[in-house]
Chain A
Amino acid sequence: MSTTAPASWGRYPSSQPRCLLPCRDAQIPTLPAEPQFCLPFGNGRSYGDVCLNNGGALLLARGLDRFIAFDPATGILRAEAGVLLSEILALIVPQGWFLSVTPGTQMITLGGAIANDVHGKNHHWTGSFGCHVRAFELLRSTGERLLCTLAQNADWFRATVGGLGLTGLITWVEIQLQRIANPWIVVENRRFASLDQFLALNAEYEARYPYTVSWIDCAARGQALGRGLHLAGMHAPPGLMKPPPQERRALTVPFAPPISLVNNLSVCWFNRLYYHLPRPARGLTSYQPFFYPLDNLLEWNRLYGRRGFFQYQCVIPPAAAREALREILARIAASGQGSMLAVLKRFGDKTSGGLLSFPRPGFTLALDFPNLGQKTLDLLGSLDEVTRQAGGAVYPAKDARMSGDSFRQYFPQWTEFRRYIDSRFSSSFWRRVTG
């Protein structure tokens, strides 16, 4: 319920909301006449400006953090929209349940998970977060409350899933969980030496494992272009008699240094080391380090310094993927602006139907770049050329700079979506790409 001025995870762009309105008891606080526009703000884990509202009001939704119902027999959970996934996991894992879909951090709210229709390592099996939402309540600035399910107010459901918080305030959410036997994950690690090897390896593992993801060495060029590590996992079967995992002690990055600690030198060495580091081919790990490797390094975004950083996550349709990915990796390697964590994964065919949902069939690549000013913007602009030509899309939750033209090409349904925007809601992102 902090009421200090919120920022997004990439620490870029800087933004100053005119007022902060803490939410409690599933109500929209009385909106002042000025500023005109408000936007729900969850836990500030989206990277760019979808969670920002420069000059407007922010509805701080973290205060909506109560559980409403949980049935341990069916795995149906209803909670207020400001509850964090970490709080849900703390409740459900000991009772033999798990989130059907989880992104790479558990520090996000339920409302944020819907607004960005987040995805996880199991997209090729189970689709995005929105596919497992049974119902939610949407509160409009007029005071109207809409119960949204696939059957009731289905159009509002589709507009709000992936709707970037613009259709109103989500007050509570009901989700379907998946059964697990224990908190352990069976993991398989494999190295691959090229993009073609990745494609073959990934196809082989996807059939057997619900969770797959790959890390790519972005500093590699020429022969080694596209080399990396493939990670596959599944929930461990019953009968494992390991003691419950110990709680990990979190470290905090204490402050943002004036310049980024992530730079050419550190990226190059980190990537090399990470690629060559020996690791067991098969093992058993707790779900925490498997799904949330960075959640134990609190405020890790500070490593990128005071100017912040950019994430670039695109999805490329299957037919164009091989060529486009090669081109993107080549352009990054040539620019000399390496990414510390380049992540590659295939999205399956299952979609939530959200009008502005990002996940769609194809390969998705996520990269992060310290903000070096125009140089970085130019590189990302040139990556957009490739993505657009391949008929792909860029993920709004991670974006702070795509052009309006690009956005409208990536999300052609935006004209239909526009009709569902609450008349008192807007965001920095929305004004930037449609203004």
Chain B
Amino acid sequence: MRNMLIIGATSAIAEATARRFAATGARFYLVGRHAERLAAIARDLEIRSGQPVASESLDLDQLDQHPGLLERADQALGGIDLALIAHGTLPDQNGCQQSVQKTLAAIHTNALSVISLTTLLANRFEQRGRGTLIAISSVAGDRGRQSNYVYGAAKGMISLLLQGLRNRLSSKGIQVITIKPGFVDTPMTAAFEKKGLLWAQPDQIAKGIVAAVERGRDEVYLPWFWRWIMLVIRHIPERLFKRLQL
């Protein structure tokens, strides 16, 4: 049985992941913005796991709320074994290009709030000498592209931060896992035409996350083929890359 903190619990990927862990009898502390949906998810997970589920709704942009949040989660669970950080938004790239304010707001939500939470969680785990920290980054963070570089920059930042944390904490028995999904059919990507082989369902990502925890992986592309796609994309020379419509 694991005690899990899930931040961004109303996201489709987080919900699918929680269901898979619920089947193993995990206990949850859920955090999300949308109170009504959070309550419905908590009720659902209680039935699936057979365990009581605690939750709170919170605007994660308020960084000063983070220490209190982790304290409450720790209290409720009696120690956090595993934390999944899954919140985020998909900013409108065009809007961001026209507005510094929008760009910084997107960076705040997708990068700074994640950095705040991972830093606090890492220190807690380090003190206890155990814990698993999983955060959802994105293939978009592997290289800057004109179609979504603001989102990409935020995800790239957390990928690097997690890499550093992993390097810092690996000798202390703490697992840090970076999840890099490709295109996933979720409400966040509702504006896209979702046809073709590159689109995955949230439950496929969830399955990959569970497997990454069980197998002690460090960095996982989901579905697996994105590792190879991104390998190619990362290695295109910049002289050429800058001219591509990506």
Contacts and interface: CB of A to CB of B under 8 A. Distances in A.
Given A24-B187, A66-B40, A66-B41, A91 B48 contact: yes
A70 B47 contact: yes
Given A2-B194, A3-B194, A25-B40, A91 B187 contact: no
Contacts of B40: 25, 66, 68
B186 A1 contact: yes
B243 interface: no
Given A25-B37, A67-B48, A2 B43 contact: no
Contacts of A2: 185, 194, 201
Contacts, number: 38
A70 B48 CA distance: 10
Given A1-B12, A24-B187, A25-B37, A68 B194 contact: no
Contacts of B190: 3, 22
Nearest to B36: A25
Contacts of B36: 25
Contacts of A22: 187, 190
A2 B203 CA distance: 11
B56 interface: no
A68 B44 contact: yes
Nearest to A64: B40
Nearest to B189: A3
Interface string B23-65: 1000000000000110011011001100000000000000000
A250 to B, nearest CB: 14
Nearest to A70: B47
B185 A67 contact: no
Nearest to B196: A4
A80 to B, nearest CB: 8
Contacts of B12: 1
Given A22-B187, A22-B190, A1 B47 contact: no
A91 B41 CA distance: 16
Q: Give the interface residue-count category, chain B.
A: 10 to 19
B44 to A, nearest CB: 4
Q: Main SS of the interface on chain B? A: helix
Contacts of B215: none
B43 A66 contact: yes
Interface string A67-84: 111100000000000000
Contacts of A3: 185, 190, 194
A152 to B, nearest CB: 23
B195 interface: yes
B202 interface: yes
Given A1-B201, A2-B194, A69 B37 contact: no
Contacts of A70: 47
A25 B187 CA distance: 12
A35 to B, nearest CB: 18
Interface in B198-234: 201-202
Interface string B172-196: 0000000000000111001000110
A6 to B, nearest CB: 12
A398 to B, nearest CB: 28
A3 B191 CA distance: 11
Interface centre among A1, A22, A67, A70 (most CB of B within 10 A): A1
A66 B15 CA distance: 10
Contacts of B23: 90
A68 B48 CA distance: 10
Contacts of A66: 40-41, 43-44
A24 B36 CA distance: 12
B43 to A, nearest CB: 6
Given A3-B185, A24-B187, A91 B47 contact: yes
A4 B195 CA distance: 6
Nearest to B194: A3
Contacts of A90: 23
21 contacts: A1-B12, A1-B186, A1-B202, A2-B194, A2-B201, A3-B185, A3-B190, A3-B194, A22-B190, A24-B37, A24-B187, A66-B40, A66-B43, A67-B43, A67-B48, A68-B40, A68-B43, A69-B43, A69-B47, A70-B47, A90-B23
Interface of B: 12, 23, 36-37, 40-41, 43-44, 47-48, 185-187, 190, 194-195, 201-202
Given A25-B37, A67-B44, 5 more contacts: A1-B12, A66-B40, A68-B40, A69-B47, A91-B48
